[in-house]
Amino acid sequence: MIIKLILFSGIAGVTVFIGGILAHYFNHHIKESPVKYEITHTLMSFGSGIILSAVALVLIPKGMEELELFPMATSFLVGAILFMLIDQYLSKRGGRTATLLAMMMDFVPESIALGAVFAVDLRLATFLAVLIGLQNLPEAFNSYRELILSGFTTRKTLIIFFLLSFFGIIGALAGHFLLSNHQDLTAHLMTFASGGILYLLIQDIIPEGKLKKNNLTSLGATLGFLVGIIGDKLV
């Protein structure tokens, strides 16, 4: 059982590094052009759609199922306010890491939830693993671009992504051993993450992905959300 959990969470997590590798070759081996610019922004929007589907279909429903109104709303607001403060701090320093923050806020609690529900509901755990992996690819692709624009070297960025790939396994094991019998704490964590993710999406990620006189970015976000709907329906 534990080996299967490590395998599921490891496959979901490795897409962080794969997304970084794909972004590296796309950025450095394909010449600049309007088409490249459109593809980049469409992928950003696609990633935002998948993140939004995770909030709407996984994180928030779990919080609403397990928590009363006031505790749920409190966790949500704390997450939004905390990441607003972090975002403001990074903006003052000139950092461009909103997508990376959103990815980690999504990746870590979902991995913990994956571990917490793995022994109870294998179908839901499988859905979470697939959703996490699908989210990580476009999110890592976009995060790579942000980090490079912030002044990180290619080598340093890829090392960060390689290390982040293992967070899924760590989170899943922590959720399995520590939170399997504490669904309320898992729900608080997921609701907290939802508040932060929505703030980052609205404040930074969605506006960054928008292109004037181009409908592909909006379609990309919609298709990203559809990916989550399809996965949820299959489960």
Q: How far apart, in whole angstroms, are the C-alpha atoms of residue 139 and residue 135?
A: 6
Burial of 204 (0-12, 13-18, 19+ CB in 10 A): buried
Rounded to whole angstroms, what are the CA distances from 205 to 55, 99, 169, 192?
A: 15, 6, 26, 19
Q: pLDDT at residue 96 above 70?
A: no
pLDDT in tens, 26-55: 877 677 677 777 777 777 788 788 878 888
Q: Give 207's pLDDT tier (boundaries 50, 70, 90).
A: low
pLDDT at 210: 59
Q: How far apart, in whole angstroms, are the C-alpha atoms of residue 225 and residue 56?
A: 9
Rounded to whole angstroms, what are the CA distances from 83 to 10, 105, 166?
A: 27, 10, 23
Burial of 167 (0-12, 13-18, 19+ CB in 10 A): middle
pLDDT in tens, 151-187: 888 899 899 899 989 988 999 998 888 887 787 888 8
Rounded to whole angstroms, what are the CA distances from 6 to 3, 11, 60, 108?
A: 5, 8, 25, 14
If one counts the domains in the chain, the total is: 1
pTM of the entire structure? 0.78
Mean pLDDT of the chain: 82
Domain residue limits at 112: 2-234
